Amino acid sequence: MFAWWSVVDNENFCRIHGEKYMSTLFLCVGGTPFALPKSIFALQFLSMNPFSITRLPELHFGAGGVRQLPRLLQDRAVHRIALILGGKSFKQSNAYDRLIEDLKSSHIGYREFSVTGEPSPDSVDSIVAELKKERDGFPVDGVVAIGGGSVIDTGKAVAALYTMEGSVQDYLEGVGTRKPVGTRLALIAVPTTAGTGAEATKNAVISRIGLSGFKKSLRHDRYVPDVALVDPELTIPCPPEITAASGLDAITQLLEAYTCTRANPFTDGLALKALELAGKGFLLAYRDGRNLEARSQMAYAAYVSGVCLAQAGLGVVHGIASPLGGMFPIPHGVVCGTLLVSATRFTVAKAMRIDDPSEDSCLKRYARAGMALSGKDAGSDNGNAALLIKTLERFSTETGMPPLRELGLKESDLSIIAAKTDAKYHPIPLTVQDVETILKDRY
């Protein structure tokens, strides 16, 4: 599905990088080539850090694609599924009615579960216990998760825990004492929001809310879904506020994966192209949810954001989101959406004070991201980095991202969150005081 090849003596002009280049590295994704400029090729391939690419899901992308679900299950010899669904919008849609008809006509049995909010140990364990209790009469051999990132994470955890003993909490990073072995049921992820990219990642985020709460991952390379079935039509019913929060989560993941210290040539080209598409589609999808082109652009950007975070890493916004999300019942996308401008502004300001003339400096990466997201070229690295901040400010302001005080935080909470923040892959080292400054800027 993925192949690298180079083309020599093919002169082109790169709109994002603003330069002519003679040699191009192409990444072919499902038959669609994405070009990386010569400057990235030379830099990354002459002196790049080691990196690894772990498994990716089989991707089926396109409007109406959810009708392929029965065939995809049959191809994997799956006959009985746990069907994990989210809120009311999908169940009240024609797509849900057609799905149930398709499953029945294909003789695929299903046991349906509805989940709300982010998965907790209790919610995951409850579903697994119910399925295990019915093993004799209805032994499931697959899981289909249709919904936002929380629904897909629930599906991942259920698919894994069905094959293991104990509670999901026993296997969480930094919480449990047992390591997951990677066994699971067949798993198909069908996103109905364009945000987390959970359909492409190898972890399931599980939360327990409270002052002593946590937000930790159940993680294994084999927990990447077998199939990511991305149908942009399924995101059309998504209301504006969820469209905004999930979209800003995807943009955060793309920007952090592109600028983090574990960025690599595989993810660089994907992230820049996806930022370009998100720059075109984000506000259009927010303003008019029935705009299928904008919905498609954001659905693809969200999927790629999951690929990039899984294959590269993230930065301080997600580092903050983990302890903050464990302490307060705030949707993950809202946390990312409200912090992204402050974190980017702070990092860019520090990058401008660093004397780094290399072609891959932190500032140049933010500048390239700014050109991709804004679709403009200010003519300098400082100007393009400023374009990035201005574009993110416009996204945040128009969609009404609330400050932290309106989300229920007290000023005394900020130092606690800052002390718990892990930003080890952020492009510039940050102290606890730096993180607290970012939080106070958005308070």
**pLDDT of 418 above 60:** yes
**pLDDT of 6 above 80:** no
Q: What is the pLDDT of residue 4?
A: 33
Name the least confident of 42-56, 113-127, 162-176: 42-56
Contact between 207 and 118 (Cβ < 8 Å): yes
| 377-388 confidence digits (pLDDT tens) | 999 999 999 999
**58-238: which CATH architecture?**
3-Layer(aba) Sandwich (3.40)
Using DSSP's 3-state secondary structure scheme, residue 113 falls into: strand
> What confidence tier does 27 reach under pLDDT thresholds 50, 70, 90?
very low
**Phi and psi torsions of 416, nearest 5°:** -65, -45
User: Can you read off the two tokens belonging to residue 210?
Assistant: 């409270």
| 331-350 confidence digits (pLDDT tens) | 999 999 999 999 999 999 99
Rounded to the nearest 10°, the torsion over CA 232, 233, 237, 243 is 10
Rounded to the nearest 10°, the torsion over CA 40, 42, 44, 46 is 180
> What confidence tier does 210 reach under pLDDT thresholds 50, 70, 90?
confident
Domain ranges of the chain: 1-48, 58-238, 241-442
Q: What is the pLDDT of residue 212?
A: 82
Running DSSP on this structure, what letter comes out for residue 57? P
Residue 6: other Cβ atoms inside 10 A: 13
Q: What is the pLDDT of residue 91?
A: 87
Q: What is the pLDDT of residue 344?
A: 99
Contact between 78 and 108 (Cβ < 8 Å): yes
Name the least confident of 44-48, 151-155, 157-161: 44-48
Q: Write the CB contacts of 302 (distance below 8 Å, at least 6 apart in sequence).
A: 191, 193, 194, 195, 196, 197, 246, 247, 250
Running DSSP on this structure, what letter comes out for residue 388? H
| 59-111 confidence digits (pLDDT tens) | 999 999 999 999 999 999 999 999 999 977 888 889 999 999 999 999 999 99
Question: Which one has a higher pLDDT value, 21 or 362?
Answer: 362
**pLDDT of 32 above 80:** no
**pLDDT of 443 above 80:** yes
> What confidence tier does 393 reach under pLDDT thresholds 50, 70, 90?
very high
- According to CATH, what is the number of the domain 241-442? 1.20.1090.10
